[in-house]
Amino acid sequence: MPEPRTLSACFGELEVLIVGTVLLVEALSGLSLNGLTILSFYKFPELRTPSHLLVLSLALADSGISLNALVAAVSSLCRCWPYGSDGCQAHGFQGFLMALASICSCAAIAWERYHHYCTRSRLAWSSASALVLFVWLSSAFWAALPLLGWGRYDYEPLGTCCTLDYSRGDRNFTSYLFTMAFFNFILPLFITLTSYWLMEQKLKRSGTLQVNTTLPARILLLGWGPYAFLYLYAASTDVTSISPRLQMVPALIAKAVPIINACHYALGIEVVHRGIWQCLSWQRREGLPSTRDQTQ
């Protein structure tokens, strides 16, 4: 049996406790919020629409990120990684898969909203199902490549969670990083920006703009941008010039993305695009159907 990996000597006991506590709060909050979204989709048939299927896909991906954070939190509070190198590979793959699926699901939702508000045509079940299937198969493909030798997974600086190894910065890592980032960060970000910009122009002309169309792209940039910057820095220079404590910050920020996504897409901050829980509240209060198409 592999020996448990001990904590990095760069971190003190208080710092480890803080990281573990933050991860635990993020994990439990993300699992609770996204779990309620999934439960709502399962319990209420009127919410089972093609557009809400994309929100469900995002909730599943974000639940996976929170579960990944829970494992890291428990390891941090236990002061070691007890699952060995194979467990590290599995943890890295699962976390990366869920992260890519979350990013691409946000882009899929942005495209669906452009499709709905700019073309005034409903998304069919076949199209929504194909889109969700593509998001997950594509994410699984890119997440599996480090297991096959293009890129690799390794421990993060604290030693209690695993991610894409950026410490070497060699040609193998660089070639994988730029190719993966184009298809799984730059392209989804472009789709999100373009879709909401076109939606904004359309709604402005009709005088019904009631939503901050820049917020989804900001969430992607603020949530995953620090990781992207860290990876880019590692590909261009020696990443050891950044302190291990600072290297842990992108991981803590990324683990908070499921909470933000749940508040934005499911709680229904957007008035013009009624969220799942907002629909439920409206249904209970007014006794009306809660499908989005009936509320427009």
Q: If you average pLDDT over residues 283-289, what whole number do you get? A: 47
Whether residue 2 is contained in a domain is answered as no
The predicted pLDDT at position 209 comes to 61
- The two tokens of residue 121 are 């045509």
pLDDT given for residue 265 in this prediction: 85
Strands (DSSP E) found in 82-192: 153-155, 162-164
Q: Cα–Cα distance between 48 and 39 in angstroms, integer?
A: 11
In this predicted structure, what is the pLDDT of residue 239? Answer: 87
Residue 21 is predicted with a pLDDT of 96
What CATH number is associated with residue 47?
Answer: 1.20.1070.10
Helix (H, G, I), strand (E, B), or coil: what is residue 101? helix
Would you state the pLDDT for residue 46? 77
Owning domain of residue 82: 11-295
- In this predicted structure, the answer to whether residue 241 has a pLDDT above a threshold of 80 is yes
Closest of 28, 34, 31, 48 to residue 279, by C-alpha: 48
**How does residue 121 score in pLDDT terms, banded at 50, 70 and 90?**
confident
| Measured distance CA(63)–CA(52) in Å, rounded | 16
Indicate if the pLDDT at residue 202 is higher than 60: yes
Q: What is the pLDDT of residue 118?
A: 81
Range with lowest mean pLDDT among 106-110, 197-201, 216-220, 250-254: 197-201
3-class DSSP state of 245: helix
pLDDT at residue 273, rounded to an integer:
43
β-pair partners for 14: none
- At CA 40, angle to CA 37 and CA 43, rounded to 5? 150
Phi first, then psi: give them for residue 290, nearest 5 degrees: -110, 10
In a domain, 257, yes or no: yes
- Identify the band that residue 214 occupies on the pLDDT scale cut at 50, 70 and 90: confident
Could you tell me if 210 and 272 are in contact, meaning their C-beta atoms sit under 8 angstroms apart? Answer: yes
Phi/psi of residue 44, nearest 5 degrees: -110, 110
Residue 109's CB is within 10 A of a number of other CB atoms, namely: 23
Helix 215-236 vs helix 171-181: crossing angle, to nearest 10 = 160
In a domain, 5, yes or no: no
Question: Which are the contacts of 8, defined by CB distance < 8 A and separation ≥ 6?
Answer: 157, 158, 159, 244
Which of 92, 89, 83 has the alpha carbon at shortest distance from 4? 83
Q: Which range among 62-66, 240-244, 290-294 shows the weakest confidence by mean pLDDT?
A: 290-294
Please state the domain count of the chain: 1
6 domain-assigned: no
Nearest-angstrom CA–CA distance, 271 and 64? 28
Using one digit for the tens of pLDDT, what is the confidence trace for 2-59?
456 666 667 888 888 999 999 999 999 999 999 988 988 888 787 788 988 999 999 9
- Please give the Cα distance from 135 to 246 (Å, whole number): 31
pLDDT: which is higher, 83 or 293:
83
Highest mean pLDDT among 132-136, 202-206, 212-216: 132-136
Mean pLDDT of the chain, nearest integer: 86
